[in-house]
Structure 1
Amino acid sequence: MDQTYFTLEEKALVKQHISQLIAMLGSQVSSHDINTVHNIVKHGIEADYYKRDKHGINPVVRSLRTAVMLNQLIAPDRNMTIATMVYNLTRLGFVSEDEIGKIFGDDIGKLVHGLINVSRLYKKQAAVENDNFHKLLLTFAEDIRVIIIMIVDRLNLMRAINHHPDEKFVHDISSESRYLYAPLAHRLGLYTIKSELEDLSLKYLNRRVYNQIAAKLNETKQRRDNYVEGFIVPIRQALEKSGLKFSIKGRTKSINSIWNKMRKKDIDLNGMYDLFAIRIILDSKPENEKKECWIAYSIVTDIYTANVSRLKDWITIPKSNGYESLHITVKGPEDKWVEVQIRTTRMDEIAERGLAAHWKYKGIKSEGEIDQWMNNVREVLEAGSQGQMELIRDMNMNLYDKEVFVFTPKGDLFKLPQGATVLDFAFHIHTKVGSHCMGAKVDGKTQKLNYKLKSGDTVEIITSSTQTPRLDWLNLVVTSKARSKIKQAVNEVRQKRADIARETLQRRFKNRKIDCDDAVLSRLISKMGLKSIIDFYVDIADGAIDVNKVIDDYIQLTKPADTESQQHESAANFVLQNHSNDNKHDEDILVIGDNVKGINYKLSKCCNPIYGDHIVGFIASDGAIKIHRTDCGNVKHLITKYPYRMIKTQWSGKLGTQFAATLKVVGQDDIGIVSNITSLINKEGDTQLRNITINSNGALFEGYLVIGVNSLSILDALIKKIKNLKGVKEVTRSAH
């Protein structure tokens, strides 16, 4: 090994850390493990793979120190220790993941793979403050032990960078620790690590404030300990005399928590009431909890003067997150203010180990399943070192298997559902980006619209001004947002093209000095077999329909009305094409009696009731129920003769079923007027002309139109429109 690789101080640290690891791991690690790791690291250094990083930190010393801290703070564990030692050499390409798996076993290979995954994630340069980042981090890690290694390694790094000359490096590492690693440590129940990460972050980000608070607290540790013990003695004695079962402990709050409270309350350190905190935990039966907490409160306030304005009673009315405790602030010896928390064992467990209560109490957002899962990990960690790593090893890390997290080239992070494609992501960014999307570069490689995104992908959308949305894009997306935007965009494009085609057709009509009648044009479009006028104009825009032929056909359609004799063709000659007599009832559209369904019923032909009419049912001799309008002439006779066979009936509210309604129309005897009426009906989306009978009577015609409609309101609106047609004299509803 290169003797110049380590400084004298580092050589001493390496020797010390190796001895510590061997002692802590004991029988878990064999001499073969020790020699194999030593040889891999030695050869990596000799091959110039294990260089100091750009900040001058020796990676071997850092890995050894992290391994020692893992065994001290978490639990002695062979696999996590070895993975920590060899991970960097695998990441740098000196030894492959497969080789690590073959040498040390699949579990260590799995840990190394997770650590490398996370290192790749960091190359994305994403903002760790983004709430999605920690979710992606958990997804990439694949194993909770990877997260634990990262947290401990971060604490190791934070301890090492005090007074590091690169101020930006220190600032960035400290910010990450505050926003990412401290909350993760808190969720895992690693409270000591969490507090130290927060304190060190404050120290490096605002050293003046940190030093000021630290100086105030460090009047001497012994003095603080003596103060807390002296404060507790009379309380402990009084509680013992009362017969209560309890435990009591005192602590000095962390520097970071003190600083947070100073900012929140807008006070200086001298105005802080609760630099010290005492917790009294009562071993109470459920039925005695509140009573015994208030007994303890009375004992404490008899000994020390309470600041009643600082009483926080979360026992009578617990916090919304379930937190229960009595908080009081009392004046202790030397006129120091001390916060005393009184709670039972159950309350303490809710506060410290509840699924989400404690995290919410400390301001960390709950996320349902992940909080529950993290809580299970916390309980394992708190259960002691024996066997805990085996339990953690078996825990499932598929916390976000229904989501993918992807980056933009700038490092912005977005969450999408599993199965989302490049096109989904394009519409997620902006409708215009989606509408003009041609594909994307994913991690530098060109991909098509239908490429399914994976967590950690960096996606750069490729657009073109010539690209327009198509209906078949609906098969390439999974998000409702993309689907609705595609439909909207396609319709907008069709409408724009239709508008241009309409202007073109109108201009051609004008050039040939022809006045275009919308009713005649509608007849022509219907004759061509097109479903809508939009389809007609889009076909013109596409060149599928020739404009000149449209005008010629239009002239041909209007010719009979322009003959030299100027005689009108009789309305009686009108023939309805492709009419339908379909009048099925596929589902219950009526509520009969006391909400009875599935009863055989018929809509009476004598009055043809439709949805919206006031109706009543009549039980016929065959057991079927005939539905009449209440204003039907036959109903008055039936009610008088058979009142006991009448049954209450109303519409169920289910739309979509069409009813047959008959209209009587009187107008000038001209086939063109009838054509205009039928064209109007065909243009209405909720109506269908099923049958028509025309009789001529001198200068007038009398027609009966059977129309399929969904409701009375639609029928009434249609009647008004027909009345407004030129040449129509009268329109009434008929039972004909």
Structure 2
Amino acid sequence: MLRQYELVERVKAYAPDADEQMLNRAYVYTVQKHGSQKRASGDPYFSHPVEVAGLMTELKLDQDTIITALLHDTVEDTLATIDEVEKLFGPDVARMVDGVTKLSKIEAMSEKERAAENLRKFLLAMSEDLRVLLVKLADRLHNMRTLHYIKSEDKRRRIAKETMDIYAPLAERVGMYEYMREMQLLAFQQLEPEAYATITGRLAQIRSQDHGQVDAIALSISQALTEAGVKCKVWGREKHPYSIWRKMAERHVNFDQITDIMAFRVLVGNVEDCYRAIGVLHTTWQALPGRFKDYISTPKVNGYQSLHTSMIYEKAMRMEVQIRTWDMHETNEYGLAAHWSYKQGGVVPDTQVGWLRDLVEVLEASNDPEELLENTRMAIYQDRIFAFTPKGKLFQLPKGATPIDFAYAVHSDLGSMAVGAKLNGRHVPLRTALSNGDVVEIIKNRSASPQLAWLGFCVTGKARAAIRRAVRIKERSELAAIGRKLFDEIIERLPTKVGKKATAEAVKRLGLKNEDELMAAIGTAKLDDRQVMEALVPGSARDLPEPEAWPKQERAISIKGLTPGMAFHLAECCHPVPGDRIVGLRKPGVGVEVHSIACDVLIEGGDHDWIDLSWGDRSVGAVGRLRCILYNRPGTLAEVTGIFAANKANITQLQNVHRDELFGTYEVDLEVTDLAHLTRIVSSLRASDAVSQADRL
């Protein structure tokens, strides 16, 4: 742990004008307030904020940020108050401490309403002062470094998942790749311990058998560039273990099939040397088609700049090379923090905060906790493509984005009025996926409105939130109209005429806010005729028969978005499980067929009505289907069924669909709790020596 004088010396080293007395006072304040509190490791609790402040000094952040780091847990975990902090350390520090205190509450992820509300506060505080996010990221990083001291496995996994879902993507979005990589590694170790052990073991094995090959390749690159007059520094590094695991999962390959385990980084003096270097490398070694990316002329949304290429080295070995200047390297590793350092004066490029404006729009448009969490996660994840308006304005969007996503990125009103699109001058369907460099023209109609079916193919949180809000408003209007019609029929059956006063009294008796809410409740069948009649004229429904109860859905799975009692079944074509994004197809005489959003049946289209659905609280008995290709030798099937048993998955059907001398192909239906459960099973299968290939169908 940093001592008081060491922390002050660190700050004074890059900020000679910093207020030494104020820094000392903040250090003493946090030690006194946390007093005898202990961490899970047994260390004094104040060691944590001191270490977080130490991380801030490594980024050369300003004095107020260092003090905020020292005090960030005092209001939440001690008797300190925001007013006291403001009196002692000023309004800026008090505001940031308050922001970080609100951020800390997001960690109660088990209660979705609370998690969503605190996520809302998180994003708003971050949008007001991005230094709040820097302190929170350092706080989370230090907590992850000491996570192994927590005895409860469930708590460790919850914190690790939250880090993987929220904080690591946020670190990436502000360009702090060093923080992102370490968070992902530590979270990966907790969430997938077997995969972590396997991959790190294989990497250690490669290092032991390397015999200086990586250094030799780095030297070859350096010599080629030096001979061409390009001054540079070159070094090789292993791919991140989590990055390797994700690539194995996405490409459905095993470790031995990953050909670019090692990557090389080239640092040069200026931008011109970056392009000279790429020319030298491409004329010395064969470049792989489609693997060159220029993030210098078109930076990522978080400000990341670099040239990326992949080439064939000797003996058909692939090597990935990144080329950048020294300034780019500093910004790429520490992103937003690099711009907040003393030497930069806290000037942050607009490209790094523009995405926050989209997040604030998502906050305003999201209706319920699940929707907010989903849309926010979609907004902060990062794989990007670049598309242009006809006038040349650049927009960055997630991979898989469509013209609808592009329209909402330009302006919410343009998205709402979209009726068609042109890509590079050619008319295309609105569901068409955009490619890098596309010029997108949106065809609009002022009388148009967003369609529910768009949710089946749009991918940005901003677009989905806006579409859902527009559809909700439209549905609410339609349901209110239905409710008004039913209300008029109800009052005709009453023994006496009723007016506005009786209606207002009925609203009060039913505990509703206003007449519009009453009409919506009637239209959605939340209130039956008897309840409305009794509320309008007490005693008027005494002789009416009791209404029939809704038929109970005799299922272990519940679906949100269906009218009570509506029959549904999970589609056999795609076998959706909780965690998949789902929609319903309303089919006459059959009920609602629930499909995964990626199902080919949806892609092919049809005349059936789409219903936007989500999973309910009950999720027992969902069936996922896998295809497993096993080596044709004794015991392989037994080993695979053992994997199912170890992962607590019940086999409902197992079929051998093909068999030859070397392999046997099986399709198996498994009862699983959710998508994460099914994904863990697939990962376990791929790690087994008995399995050649395992995929979800």
With structure 1 as the length reference, what TM-score do the two structures score?
Answer: 0.44
Structure index of larger Rg: 1
